[in-house]
């Protein structure tokens, strides 16, 4: 197993992308700390990992709260005596036209997707530097962060663009400690988050959810919605031996919609 002996922490690991990534890294042999604001969903992912013989820990944590971030990292270290891989995945969004975004919505999205993501990366990197054995940080961005015009929320897009920028700015100082930091930029992925935003957009357009999803598929050159497992495979690659000389990059996994 390519990740045998490694310890991974995945935020937003209770469902969707985080769950798929947690399961894939566990399949590779890593021990997984699954963090989620919903402790029950984190526990569900952990049980799925244990069901296939893996080792896992569920942590209830809100990444918008710095004290909870610190506790999350500490609990991971206490349980597994180290941390090698961090998947910075927790996120929130809500479909909203640019002229309808108010301060409360902007702040809610940025507390998790920008502030939370930054301080999670910072706190994890600090521990990786202290350990002195390198590490892999995978920040979850989005094609929305690259200016994809079909995005459903400008506040979300701004936060995801910030994730790409903070990843690239961290590249050189982290490289001094053999810590790789990259971003993954998913397109339309079949997750509860996509269903929620698509449902709202379908309602606004006066069409059925199935029609909105059909339109989404038609806009993708490869003609299919991305599956969570597709993102998990990219995360596993970046976390494994094949990713050892890759850092500072932002990888699109979107079926060919965005090509920069």
What's the mean pLDDT when you consider all of the chain?
A: 95
Q: What CATH number is attached to the domain comprising 70?
A: 3.40.50.720
Quick check: is 32 in a domain? yes
| Residue 77 burial by Cβ neighbours in a 10 Å radius (0-12, 13-18, 19+) | middle
- pLDDT score, position 246: 99
pLDDT of residue 152: 67
Q: Is residue 202 part of a domain?
A: no
The CA distance from 128 to 174, in Å, is 10
What pLDDT is stored for residue 150 in this prediction? 64
Q: pLDDT at position 70, please?
A: 99
Residue 194: inside a domain: no
Q: Is 46 exposed, middle or buried (0-12, 13-18, 19+ CB in 10 A)?
A: buried
- How many domains does the chain fold into? 1
Tens digits of pLDDT across the chain (260 residues):
899 999 999 999 999 999 999 999 999 999 999 999 999 999 999 999 999 999 999 999 999 999 999 999 999 999 999 999 999 999 998 888 899 999 999 999 999 999 999 999 999 999 999 999 999 999 999 999 998 776 668 999 999 999 999 999 999 999 999 999 999 999 989 887 777 777 767 666 787 878 878 888 888 999 999 999 999 999 999 999 999 999 999 999 999 999 98
Which residue among the candidates 80, 118, 156, 251 is catalytic per the annotation? 156
156 assigned to active site: yes
**Range of the structural domain that residue 59 is part of:** 7-189+227-253
The whole-number pLDDT of residue 151 equals 63
Give the global pTM. Answer: 0.94
Query: Is 199 inside a domain boundary?
Result: no
Whether 60 is covered by a domain: the verdict is yes
Asked if residue 214 belongs to a domain, the reply is no
Question: Per the domain annotation, does 25 fall within a domain?
Answer: yes
């Amino acid at each position: 197993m390519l990740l045998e002996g490694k310890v991974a922490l995945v935020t937003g690991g209770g469902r969707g992308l985080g769950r798929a990534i947690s399961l894939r890294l566990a399949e590779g042999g890593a021990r997984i700390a699954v963090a989620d604001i919903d402790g029950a969903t984190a526990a569900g992912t952990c049980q799925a990992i244990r069901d296939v013989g893996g080792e896992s820990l569920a942590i209830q944590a809100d990444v918008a709260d710095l004290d909870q971030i610190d506790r999350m990292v500490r609990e991971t270290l206490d349980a597994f005596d180290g941390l090698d891989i961090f998947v910075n995945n927790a996120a929130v969004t809500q479909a909203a036209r640019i002229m309808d975004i108010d301060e409360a919505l902007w702040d809610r999205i940025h507390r998790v997707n920008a502030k939370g993501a930054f301080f999670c990366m910072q706190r994890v990197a600090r521990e990786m530097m202290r350990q002195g054995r390198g590490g892999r940080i995978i920040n979850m961005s989005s094609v929305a962060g690259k200016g994809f015009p079909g995005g459903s929320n400008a506040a979300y897009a701004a936060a995801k663009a910030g994730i790409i920028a903070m990843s690239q700015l961290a590249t050189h100082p982290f490289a001094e400690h053999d810590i790789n930091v990259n971003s993954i930029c998913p397109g339309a992925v079949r997750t509860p988050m996509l269903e929620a935003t698509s449902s709202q957009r379908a309602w606004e357009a006066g069409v059925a959810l199935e029609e909105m999803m059909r339109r989404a598929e038609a806009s993708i050159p490869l003609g299919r919605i991305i599956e969570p497992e597709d993102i998990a495979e990219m995360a596993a690659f970046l976390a494994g031996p094949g990713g050892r000389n890759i850092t500072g990059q932002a990888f699109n996994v979107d079926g060919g919609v965005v090509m920069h």
